[in-house]
Amino acid sequence: MKAIIAVNNLGFIGKGNSLLWKNKKDLQHFKELTLDQVLLVGYNTNSELPPLPNRTVMLDEKNNINLTPHWCIGGKKTYEKYAPYFTELHISHIDDNQIGDVVFPDLSNLNPDCKIFNYYF
């Protein structure tokens, strides 16, 4: 499974279950990578997730065994839970200094063979 996450200059990834910023280039990047894919999302993040056309959103639940996710898209607890299974981690670094209420996840259990890709917007 791949993962995609955006983080700002201060290490925040969100506020109120949403992104802190609106960055057109990052949103386009997210769309290009995840189009026609199955996306795994946690309960809290899903509550504020806008519609994602041409993607299947799979809520992280114990009973959800019929779909295999291609991408983990958050939130923090979901990233931490599935980090051992990531084969790729795509990190968007957003030039933004807003204060959020969710910081970058602890990925100390990240799959050691995971490839990390950094993007700067």
Q: In CATH, what number is assigned to the domain containing residue 84?
A: 3.40.430.10
Indicate the residue type of 17.
N
Q: How confident is the model at residue 56 (pLDDT cuts 50, 70, 90)?
A: very high
Indicate the residue type of 8.
N
What's the mean pLDDT in 70-87?
Answer: 96
Of 2, 5, 1, the residue nearest 77 (C-alpha): 5
What's the mean pLDDT in 98-117?
Answer: 98
Domain that holds residue 32: 2-120
| Residue 52 predicted with pLDDT over 70 | yes
Number of domains in the chain: 1
DSSP 8-state code for residue 90? E
Q: How confident is the model at residue 66 (pLDDT cuts 50, 70, 90)?
A: low
Strand, helix or coil for residue 11: coil
